[in-house]
A and B are shown apart, each in its own frame.
Chain A
Amino acid sequence: MISLRGVSLVYPNGVRAIDGIDLEIGKGDFVFLVGHSGTGKSSLLRLLYREMTPSAGDITVDGIRVDRLRRSRIPALRRHLGVVFQDFKLLTDKTVWENVAFALQVTGAHTKDVMRQVPRCLDLVGLSHKSRMYPGELSGGEQQRAAIARALVNNPKILLCDEPTGNLDPANTTEIMDLLGRINLKGTTIVVATHNQAVVDRMRRRVIRLENGRVVTDEERGYYFLGLGQDQILSG
């Protein structure tokens, strides 16, 4: 579903944020990207939705050669992806319903599709009853759920999340991660960049650890700290 071969990214200021990464992520996988601040987690995600173009290497996402994509084809790629951020990126002057619908409307979707998909996604994230509220009237967790609904409204096969729980308290964090787990069960491939040890250790999913723009470990059922679960820390 996602495949990187010898990918590097050097920012215009000369910072080498990604340094020769090879990676395969299968269909329906749930993957955590962990690592210290500044190791290139966000940069890696930016390469996948072609916010940045790699300086070297091949990137394939859902069959699309992202590194060679013409600028005019970028919108087509983005419609295959959902992206969620720490700061939600909701439009404050639109209601929840309008925010979710917006993602479809600006791609020229038919009204009947909007009327079908928006309620489906709001229902999925459990926000149907607050669809007429504005983001300012919602809790952080609810805002993130609205953002997830918006990311899902195009029926993407891949959901990219950059610290989706960074602004949330533990209760909301658990709620959002449970939601992502349920979405994953429906077959959506999910990549989550996170700093949240509790989340990673509780979910026990594939963990890809980055350091200085390189993959240092890649474990099937990993912990936030290498080979070290929270339970082990507590018992040890």
Chain B
Amino acid sequence: MDWGKIKFFLGEVFRNFTRNAGMQATAIGTVAVTIVLLGAFLYVHASVAHLSGDVFSKITISTYMKPAATSAQLDAVRTALAKDERIATATFVPKKEGLKELSQRMKGQIDTSLFTENPLPDKFRVSVRDPQLVPAVAASIRKLPGVDTVEYGQDVVQRMLQVANVGRRVGIGIIALFVLVAGIIISNTIRLTVFARRREISIMQLVGATNMYIRMPFICEGLLDGILGACLAIGILAIARASLVPKLAAALPWVQINVVQIDISSLVLQLVVVGGAVGIIASWIAVGRFLRT
């Protein structure tokens, strides 16, 4: 290990970093804001996914057969449902059992023993692996022979899926915007350092330093901006979680916030990686522009 070499390199990085501390603080702050947003989004997203997962997993498609459906058609539907990859379970509920269920649900309101004839059709209760696929699966079931109607609370499911999708897109859009802003600010910060050191860079080029070597300290500077920003953000998120979550839990007792178990260490890692990557890419672009001329 050549400690002299390492010391020289780190000295260069440190000098860069401390040269315009104000700009550096701005860059770190922007990264921190971006990553706080990203962290909050991931956290909320995980919570919502968890909550809505509960709701969605209870969605079933009730497939009602025509009263005149033949037993051959019934078998055909049964095998079609069994073959469909998107379907998790398909339970056959013959009309007799349907009546029993109905009489249990409606106890005291309807006396089913008064029925002279069973008015209910045979049905299949179908649950789907991915709630997003419910409308599509329902549509394909409806086309099967002997199937009369298909019900899954169309309106509610559609609306919920829409809200979830819009929410996700808006969140991703906002974060993309902030990542871009953070990148631009880091890039400008690095460009200032590059500009302040242009004499040094031209001398480096004159004595035969490679572009890669010239780049390195600036890349490290960007990386440092990104990682310090991410660490700041993680600190803020940790404090926010510790102080906000209990209050939220008290305010919204019916939302089981604490049920959400996010893998904190992998979240932290993800955020640091995002911060570092933004820093590296931004500084690479900043120096590249200078070296090409």
Contact = CB atoms under 8 A, between A and B. Distances in A.
Interface of A: 49, 72, 74-79, 83, 89, 91, 102-103, 105-108, 110-111, 114-115, 150, 154
B159 interface: no
A89 B199 contact: yes
Given A106-B213, A110-B2, 7 more contacts: A74-B205, A79-B207, A91-B203, A105-B5, A107-B209, A108-B213, A111-B5
A107 B208 contact: yes
Contact of B2 (A77, A89, A106, A111): A111
Given A91-B199, A91-B203, A108-B213, A154 B208 contact: yes
Indicate the member of A49, A103, A115, A150 with the most B CB atoms within 10 Å. A103
B207 A111 contact: no
Contact of A102 (B202, B203, B210, B214): B203
Which 9 pairs show the lowest CB-CB distances between chains A and B? A111-B4, A78-B208, A79-B208, A106-B209, A103-B207, A75-B208, A106-B204, A75-B210, A105-B8
Looking at chain B's contact residues, the main secondary structure is helix
Indicate the member of B5, B206, B214 with the most A CB atoms within 10 Å. B206
B200 interface: yes
B4 A154 contact: no
Contact of A106 (B3, B4, B199, B207): B207
Contacts of A110: 2, 5
Interface in B31-69: none
A102 B213 CA distance: 13
Interface string B1-36: 011110010000000000000000000000000000
Interface in B87-123: none
Contacts of A107: 207-210, 213
B213 A111 contact: no
Interface string B179-209: 0000000000000000000011011111111
Contact of A78 (B2, B199, B207, B213): B207
A47 to B, nearest CB: 15
Given A91-B200, A102-B203, A106-B204, A111 B209 contact: no
A110 B2 CA distance: 7
A150 B209 CA distance: 14
Contacts of A150: 207
Contacts of A75: 205, 208-211
B203 A89 contact: yes
Nearest to B210: A75
Contacts of A111: 2-5
Contacts of B209: 75, 106-107
Nearest to B5: A111
Given A91-B199, A108-B213, A77 B208 contact: yes
Given A91-B199, A91-B200, A78 B206 contact: yes
A79 B208 CA distance: 5
B4 A114 contact: yes
Given A106-B213, A107-B213, A108-B213, A89 B206 contact: yes
A64 to B, nearest CB: 12
Indicate the member of B205, B209, B211 with the most A CB atoms within 10 Å. B209
Indicate the member of B200, B208, B213, B214 with the most A CB atoms within 10 Å. B208
